A = this chain, B = another copy of it.
């Protein structure tokens, strides 16, 4: 990822070789600051407070959480304690479970004195694998966008609507939903992004707008209410979102509001694609609506908005009457029937059990 003139990943090892550094995403887009994580507790807090967020990045960060745990106390008991605490930070994120399970499977079978070194090595592998997956999603998505662009007569611009932030900042690098957009922009396709602001945490208005801006991709922030209208008026060529967890039937659990955009895309014949890294598929779940628990977060995320005053101070303000009650379901499930297709690291497929099984025959 490009920030100014420098290339970053969203998580990296400190120069000392053992602590982990991240970008504090709660301070974007107003401040760019990094945080040093030195313990599993630091990692838990970083995930819980959403200093890191995005399913793939949460997985990678969790893996480093176990590395820090193994460095401190490599006993099986200590690792299992860290595993449980890390898993509890974000119940919806299947990548987190995937990464933690993967790490534990490797570590438990080693003698304790070898666990710390192995943990760091495997956490680094998880990061590198995420980058490779996303780069591959970008390539497959680019073909899709190239075809759309040609079908449009290669004139005007190609309008992509996205929800939340499934970009660089949600992954180790590249992003999932935004990877095809970066590839298309770099390939000279005049892509323009409608960025849903994504209430309540405004990841679209803050993170997506910020990272697209850093890379120079033209974009326009809209409220979450606007997408249906834009599709009705023919101003959206394709929707691409990420996913936090996908059932084997192809139901997608993603940021709250994704389902509404999929309905609008369906109603207006706009293709609706989900960028789907293999590790985000939960093969144990069939019916996403019936089986995926939805995380309820703090109602204060709804009633209180953080931003920058004219004087440059970052402050939080209440937008509701004093004492108002709010609810904050953080994800919703988009049924497979509304999804045109998945863009995976192994190619594009139909949003169905058959489609997923074709590309991932080793699972399922």
Interface digits, A237-264 against B, CB 8 Å rule (1 contact, 0 not)? 0000000000000000001110111011
The answer, yes or no, to whether A173 is at the interface (CB within 8 Å) is: no
Q: Find chain B residues with CB under 8 A from A256 CB.
A: 223, 225-226, 229
Interface digits, A278-310 against B, CB 8 Å rule (1 contact, 0 not)? 000000000001000010000000111111111
Interface digits, A198-214 against B, CB 8 Å rule (1 contact, 0 not)? 11101001100110010
Which A310-344 residues have C-beta < 8 A from chain B?
310, 314-329, 331-333
Q: Give the Cβ gap from A233 to chain B, nearest Cβ, in Å.
A: 8
Inter-subunit contact A327/B202 (CB<8 Å):
no
Q: Find chain B residues with CB under 8 A from A264 CB.
A: 259-260, 263
Q: Find chain B residues with CB under 8 A from A202 CB.
A: 319
Docked pose: A308 CA to B319 CA in angstroms: 7
The answer, yes or no, to whether A230 is at the interface (CB within 8 Å) is: yes
The answer, yes or no, to whether A221 is at the interface (CB within 8 Å) is: yes
Partner of A325, one of B219, B232, B263, B319: B219
The answer, yes or no, to whether A228 is at the interface (CB within 8 Å) is: yes
Q: Find chain B residues with CB under 8 A from A331 CB.
A: 229
Which A112-145 residues have C-beta < 8 A from chain B?
none
Given the contacts A220-B326, A267-B263, A257 and B319 also touching, CB distance less than 8 Å: no
Helix, strand, loop or mixed for chain A's interface?
A: mixed
Q: Give the Cβ gap from A358 to chain B, nearest Cβ, in Å.
A: 28
Q: Find chain B residues with CB under 8 A from A325 CB.
A: 219-221
The answer, yes or no, to whether A355 is at the interface (CB within 8 Å) is: no
**What's the tally of chain A residues with a CB closer than 8 Å to chain B?**
64
Inter-subunit contact B327/A305 (CB<8 Å):
no
Interface digits, A166-210 against B, CB 8 Å rule (1 contact, 0 not)? 000000000000000000000000000010011110100110011
The answer, yes or no, to whether A345 is at the interface (CB within 8 Å) is: no
Inter-subunit contact A257/B226 (CB<8 Å):
yes
Q: Find chain B residues with CB under 8 A from A213 CB.
A: 321, 323-324
Inter-subunit contact A230/B329 (CB<8 Å):
yes
The answer, yes or no, to whether A222 is at the interface (CB within 8 Å) is: yes
Inter-subunit contact A307/B321 (CB<8 Å):
no
The answer, yes or no, to whether A24 is at the interface (CB within 8 Å) is: no
Partner of A223, one of B29, B257, B261, B322: B257
Given the contacts A228-B259, A267-B263, A305 and B305 also touching, CB distance less than 8 Å: yes
Q: Give the Cβ gap from A99 to chain B, nearest Cβ, in Å.
A: 26
Q: Give the Cβ gap from A149 to chain B, nearest Cβ, in Å.
A: 22
Docked pose: A264 CA to B260 CA in angstroms: 7
A-B contact pairs, 24 of them (CB 8 A): A198-B225, A205-B319, A205-B320, A205-B324, A206-B320, A209-B320, A219-B325, A223-B302, A226-B328, A229-B259, A229-B333, A232-B289, A259-B264, A305-B305, A305-B307, A305-B319, A306-B317, A307-B317, A307-B319, A308-B318, A308-B322, A309-B316, A309-B317, A317-B317
The 3 closest A-B CB pairs, nearest first, are: A225-B257, A307-B317, A229-B332
